[in-house]
Every structure is written in C-alpha cells, then in structure tokens.
Amino acid sequence: MTAFVDRLEGPSPAMEIAKDMVTRGLWAVPVGLGLGALAAGFNGAVSVAYAMALVLVNFLLAAYTLAAAARVSFALVAGAALGGYAVRLGLILIAFLLVRDASWMAKVPFGIAIIVTHLVLLVWELRYVSASMAHPGLKPSVSGQPAAGSRR
C-alpha cells in the first residue's frame, strides 16, 4: 500500500509530454486555420483558432494537474486524472457557452476542430512517447546509435 504515501521526485513525465504536444500542435495551427477558412471564411478560421487554443491549454492543464498530484502521492494521481477530466470538459463547455452567440463563432468548424485536434495530437504524440519504465515520458534521443531492434 505504498501508493498512498509514495510520490514523484523529480521532473514530471506528464509535463514533458504535454509541452511536446503543444509544440507539435503549434505546427498544426496554420493547417487548422486554412481548413477553417475554407469551410467558413474568416469566422471559421477564428473559431478553429479558438478551438485549437482550448485544446492546447487543456493538455497543459491536464499535465499540470497530474504533475501536482504526483508530488503529493501516486494515489492522488488517479483521482486527479478522473476528476480533472470532468473538470476540464466542463471548462471547455463553459468556454464555448461564453462565445456561442458571438458574431465570429462558426459552431461546426469549432466542434470539428475540438475533436480532430484532440485526436490528431494524441495519435501524433504516440510516436514520441516512451512505453518504458526506464525512460518515462518522451523516448530518449538516440544520436549515433542504431534504432531499437535494428542489427549492427
């Protein structure tokens, strides 16, 4: 039962992954803006930009919550993950409700951008996340060494 008292010492793998996702997400913003503009003109582009900003902030907030919980105890991480998910969904809903009647809000491009941005960034990031307890977080960079599984 050490999960109730053990805690993370050192840098958070969740923050490392979230920062990497945001960096990759910033590269996807021009594509999203272009698609939003094609779909609904200027209003579509602005709505997609708002949606993408919400997604990126959502990932950072999730990582910060998990990192803060891990400094207290690993048991709290599970509660922070479950409760934090519901809270962050609520925050996205509130962020939408605050601007749903704004003249620039194009609801369909906004909704599609929220869903697609979440999914694309999560799938894209899978290529860079280490599934090893030896290297939690991002895969270590391998300069000058053969790739894992390759023969010399």
Instruction: Report pLDDT digits (tens) over 29-81.
Output: 999 999 999 999 999 999 999 999 999 999 999 999 988 888 888 788 888 88
Structural domain count, the chain: 1
With contact defined as beta carbons under 8 Å apart, do 51 and 114 qualify?
yes
Q: What pLDDT is recorded for position 7?
A: 61
Does 30 map to a domain?
A: yes
Q: What pLDDT is recorded for position 70?
A: 84
Residues 93-133 pLDDT 10s: 999 999 999 999 999 999 999 999 999 988 887 777 766 55
Q: Could you please report the per-residue DSSP string of 69-118?
A: HHHH-HHHHHHHHHHHHHHHHHHHHHHHHHHTTSTT--HHHHHHHHHHHH
Does 1 map to a domain?
A: no
- How many alpha carbons fall within 13 Å on the CB side of residue 141? 2
Does 17 map to a domain?
A: yes
Give the domain extent around 75: 12-126
Does 135 map to a domain?
A: no
- Would you tell me how many other CB atoms lie within 10 Å of the CB of residue 16? 16
Q: How far is CA 10 from the centre of its chain?
A: 21
Does 144 map to a domain?
A: no
